[in-house]
Copies of this chain bind each other. A is one copy, B any other.
Amino acid sequence: MTHSDRILMGPGPCNPYPEVIEAFGRPVLGHLDPEFISLLDDTGERLRQVFRTDNPLTFPVSGTGSAGMEAAFVNFVEPGDVVVIGVNGVFGGRMCDVAARAGAEVVRVDAAWGTAIEPQQLLDAHPDPKIIAVVHAETSTGVRNDIADLGAAKGDALLLIDCVTSVGGIPVELDEWGVDIAYSGTQKCLGVPPGLAPLSVSPAAVERIIERPQSWYLDLNMIARYVTGGSARAYHHTAPISMIYALHAGLGVLLDEGLVASFVRHQSCGDTLQTGLVEMGFEMFAEQGHQLPQLTTVVVPTDRLPAGVGEADVRRQLLGHYGIEIGGGLGEFAGKVWRIGLMGHTARRRNVTLLLGALGEILAG
């Protein structure tokens, strides 16, 4: 069975940091072993630093980013609760689906894909929602939505944000912004393979966890007794031990580098890529001023492709001839947009140089 070493420049997963893969090699500990509990506690502490929060209930959900999304909704939504959700891409749309399955009365605030959502529109959408939810970095469009102004004006609502693609790549300030519930994924700017969903819940939101969420697996009432139970730890489910080693190691790499240094690195790589693509004649898809450095979206240059070569052929050539993965568009932008990630360990100048060179060669036919 062929197993190639790719340069992962799609919308995630990224290439993991070497220290992360090393961590997978550590001996497996039991999920109630004091040594593992220490490591889990330290993982929570590292996550608090990365999320910029003091929230005690900060831990990795035992599933991928979408499990984090589901945990973020099902623990707070009871049938009939009003949830305002900003939608300018796939993941905002997914939030609506998840919230509706928990019985929410969803109030959608749509913005065109490729543009950002105006925070005031979220605030004006309903006089008294239980939750206002928005995706910070839309992985489907490469757009950053502004969060900072929502917290101060949210009233009694809980502010819920998706940080899957933002954490580690651009500033995220849960406490300063007044965010109540935030989830992320490991496979983007944290430089860890997919498998866990870091989640953080403010003390105010902890008070509003519903009594019996529809999901047993994601029930924060029970999970909190394991992850923050102190000496009274209660087994809930067996934690994904080795994945937590990997996350712990990836957070260590990020914090050793420093959050600001990581943001600068991601920004620098993204700027260089975007400048290079524009110089090659590409048109950016995401709105100016809201472009993510870690995830660049460009309009497929249909008129510049060699004769008989479609956009999927270009991606196939990148993969087959260069071992580079980039992402296609989603939804109505399938075939029309490429998504190029520079996240985590992938966010290196050399990868920018490589991709621009490879694209140039392919477009030259």
Contacts and interface: CB of A to CB of B under 8 A. Distances in A.
B70 A239 contact: no
B241 A193 contact: yes
A13 B31 contact: yes
B26 A13 contact: no
Interface string A202-246: 000000000011111100000000000000000111111111001
Given A3-B35, A13-B241, A195-B243, A217 B63 contact: yes
B2 A35 contact: yes
Contacts of A69: 216-217
B67 A214 contact: no
Nearest to A316: B34
User: From DSSP, what is the main secondary structure of chain A's interface residues?
Assistant: loop
Contact of A25 (B4, B21, B70, B215): B21
A29 interface: yes
A280 to B, nearest CB: 24
A185 B238 contact: yes
A101 interface: yes
Contacts of A213: 101
A102 interface: yes
Contacts of A21: 24-25
29 contacts: A1-B39, A1-B42, A2-B35, A3-B27, A3-B35, A6-B33, A8-B30, A10-B30, A12-B238, A13-B31, A16-B28, A21-B25, A24-B24, A24-B25, A33-B319, A33-B325, A62-B63, A63-B217, A66-B216, A67-B237, A70-B217, A94-B216, A97-B216, A187-B238, A187-B241, A194-B238, A194-B239, A214-B215, A215-B215
Question: Which 6 pairs from chain A and chain B are nearest by CB?
Answer: A24-B24, A195-B240, A5-B27, A66-B237, A193-B242, A194-B238
Interface of A: 1-6, 8, 10, 12-13, 15-16, 21, 24-31, 33, 35, 38-39, 42, 62-67, 69-70, 94, 97-98, 101-102, 185, 187, 193-195, 212-217, 235-243, 246, 319, 325, 330
